[in-house]
């Protein structure tokens, strides 16, 4: 059953899910910044972005043929940062592929990334963002959970695992991302 899979992702038994969530939120563990990580083994930027097709390099599906208007990244963990506090938000949002170099982000009102976007909009600058695909399960779990705005979700992910989440600096934006993720897309959301 799905509860068993959820518990496996949390590294606990199904009976320990609530306790593990409570421990992670009450005892967050700050992440550890690494100089380099596996996610940086292959980097495409600048003139090399289209050398492999840009986003077309990845098998992004049309999940509902005949209904979806384009391919969507359905497990994209969008990373954004509150520009005044530096607190990180990781949220799982659908990302519509609009071109080989652009995706959209469905961020409804009430979502933390939407609040961040509003702050950057008031500042008159584009919001830096990274889309993390294929992180460790604890990152995916905090990305889909409703945690308080003032909670840094990387810290909660560390609390869930019982050890610091290893991060690396992005190459083109001022954000950090999980060092062991499969893919990271970096860019900005215009305001």
CB burial readout 132-143, b (16+ within 10 A) else e: bbebbbbbbbbb
Q: Give the pLDDT of residue 117.
A: 95
Q: How do residues 72-108 score in pLDDT, each as one tens digit?
A: 998 899 999 999 999 999 999 989 999 999 999 888 8
Residue 130: its pLDDT value, please?
98
Residue 46 vs residues 99, 101, 108, 164, 171: alpha-carbon distances, Å: 16, 11, 31, 32, 11
**What is the per-residue pLDDT for 85?**
96
| Cα-based distances in Å from 31 to 67, 141, 148, 162, 179 | 40, 16, 18, 11, 11
What does the pLDDT read at residue 183?
96
Please report the pLDDT score of residue 1 as a whole number.
Answer: 66
Regions of the chain where pLDDT drops below 50 = none
- pLDDT the model gives residue 177: 98
pLDDT score recorded for residue 170: 98
Q: Cα 185 vs. chain centroid, distance in angstroms?
A: 10
- d(CA 139, CA 144) in angstroms, rounded, equals 9
- Are the C-beta atoms of residues 96 and 104 closer than 8 Å to each other? yes
Beta strand spans in the chain (E): 32-33, 72-81, 88-99, 102-103, 127-133, 166-169, 176-178, 183-189
Dihedral sign, Cα of residue 74, residue 79, residue 83, residue 84: positive
Q: In this predicted structure, what is the pLDDT of residue 61?
A: 85
pTM of the full structure: 0.93
Greatest Cα pair distance in the chain: 51
Confidence (pLDDT) at 102:
94
Task: Give the C-alpha separation, 20 to 159, whole Å.
Answer: 9
């Amino acid at each position: 059953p799905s509860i068993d899979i959820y518990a496996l992702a949390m590294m606990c038994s199904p009976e320990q899910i609530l306790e593990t969530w409570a421990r992670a939120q009450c005892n967050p563990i700050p992440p550890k910044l690494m100089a380099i990580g596996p996610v940086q083994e292959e980097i495409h930027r600048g003139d090399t972005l289209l050398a492999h097709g840009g986003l077309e390099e990845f098998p992004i599906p049309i999940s509902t043929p005949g209904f979806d208007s384009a391919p969507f990244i359905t497990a994209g963990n969008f990373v954004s940062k509150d520009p005044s506090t530096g607190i990180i938000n990781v949220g799982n949002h659908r990302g519509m592929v609009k071109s080989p170099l652009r995706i959209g982000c469905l961020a409804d009102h009430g979502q933390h990334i939407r609040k961040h976007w509003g702050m950057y909009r008031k500042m008159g600058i584009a919001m830096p963002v990274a889309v993390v695909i294929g992180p460790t399960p604890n990152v995916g779990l905090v990305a889909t959970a409703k945690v308080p705005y003032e909670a840094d979700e990387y810290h909660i992910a560390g609390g869930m695992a019982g050890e610091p989440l290893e991060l690396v600096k992005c190459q083109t934006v001022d954000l950090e991302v999980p060092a062991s993720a499969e893919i990271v897309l970096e860019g900005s959301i215009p305001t």
